[in-house]
Amino acid sequence: MTRFALTVVRHGETRLNKEKIIQGQGVDAPISETGLKQAAAAGLFLNNVKFTHIFSSDLTRTKQTVHGILEKNKFCRDMTVKYDSRLRERKYGVAESRALSELRAMAKAAGEECPAFTPPGGETLDQVKMRGKDFFEFLCQLILKEAGQKEQFSPGTPSNCLETSLAEIFPLGKNYASKFNSDSGTPELVASVLVVSHGAYMKSLFNYFLTDLKCSLPATVSESELMSVSPNTGISLFIINFEKGMEAKPTIQCVCMNLHDHLSGVTETH
C-alpha cells in the first residue's frame, strides 16, 4: 500500500473577495493586506509540516499566498513551487469583474440557480470537475512513480517525520491516531503535498473526492461545511491510500475540511 498526504489551502483574501466581485480567471487581483496576514497565519500554522511537493494555481492571488506560507516554513522555504493552470479558479466568462449579485440575477433570468448556472464564456461545473480530476490523477501517478523508484525525499530524515509533523497540528482524533502509529502496520507516508488553489475549484475537487471516490469524512464535518466554499486560507487535509498502484481507485480519508483556526488572531485591514 502507498499512502500520501494532500493539504489543500485556499488563497488569501483579495479586495474583490471582500466586495463580492467575481474574479474567476480573467481578473488577476493581488491579495489584500488582510490576505497577506492570512497567508502568514496559515504559514505559521503549517510551519513544522514537511512538504515534499508544492503546487499552486498560476494566478497572482495563489502565487502570493503560497509564497507567504513557505516564508514561515522551517523546512520548505527554498522549495520550488510548481505552478499549474489546472488549479485555476472556475472561469466565469462575462460575469468576471461583476458583482456576485449580478451573476445570481443572470442565473435567475435563465431559470437556473448558482452554482449550476454557467455564464456565457464560462466553464460548466463538469468542466471544472474534469480539470480537478485530471490534476489529481496526474498527482497520484507522480507520487506512485516516485515511490516505485524509492526516492529518498528527505535525506537523513526518516519519512515517518512526514506523519509526525501533520499529527502535531491536525485534529486526527483517537481513531485516526492509530493510523499514524508505526506499530499499527500501516505504511508510512511516501509524500506530503501542498496545493494552493481557489474556492469554487476546491469545492468542485472535494465534491469529486466525495461523490466519485467515496472519500470518508470525520464526524466533525457537517453537511453545511461540505456545501460551503472554504474561507480564505481555509485548510483541508486528505490521506490518499493506494492498495495496488493505479489499477484500483484510491481510498481517500478526509482529516479536516476548511479548517480556519489559524485566522482567529488575524484582524481585518480596512
- Residues with active-site annotation: 11, 89
User: What size, in residues, is the chain?
Assistant: 270
Residues 6+ apart with CB under 8 A from 27: 16, 21, 96, 97
User: Was 12 annotated as part of a binding site?
Assistant: yes
User: Was 243 annotated as part of a binding site?
Assistant: no
User: Was 15 annotated as part of a binding site?
Assistant: yes
User: Was 13 annotated as part of a binding site?
Assistant: yes
User: Was 233 annotated as part of a binding site?
Assistant: no
User: Was 234 annotated as part of a binding site?
Assistant: no
Task: Find, among 256, 149, 127, the residue nearest to 118 by Cα.
Answer: 127
Helix, strand, coil distribution of the chain in percent, nearest 5: 40, 20, 40
Task: Find, among 106, 123, 95, 124, the residue nearest to 16 by Cα.
Answer: 95
Residues 6+ apart with CB under 8 A from 7: 46, 49, 51, 166, 192, 193, 194, 195, 235, 236, 237
Residue 115: is the preceding peptide bond cis (ω within 30°)? yes
User: Was 201 annotated as part of a binding site?
Assistant: no
User: Was 260 annotated as part of a binding site?
Assistant: no
User: Was 14 annotated as part of a binding site?
Assistant: yes
User: Was 189 annotated as part of a binding site?
Assistant: no
User: What is d(CA 152, CA 157) in angstroms, rounded to the nearest whole number?
Assistant: 9
User: Was 77 annotated as part of a binding site?
Assistant: no
User: What is d(CA 42, CA 69) in angstroms, rounded to the nearest whole number?
Assistant: 6
Q: Are 226 and 209 in contact (CB under 8 A)?
A: no
**Which residues are annotated as part of the binding site for substrate?**
10-17, 61, 89-92
Q: Residues within the annotated binding site?
A: 10-17, 61, 89-92
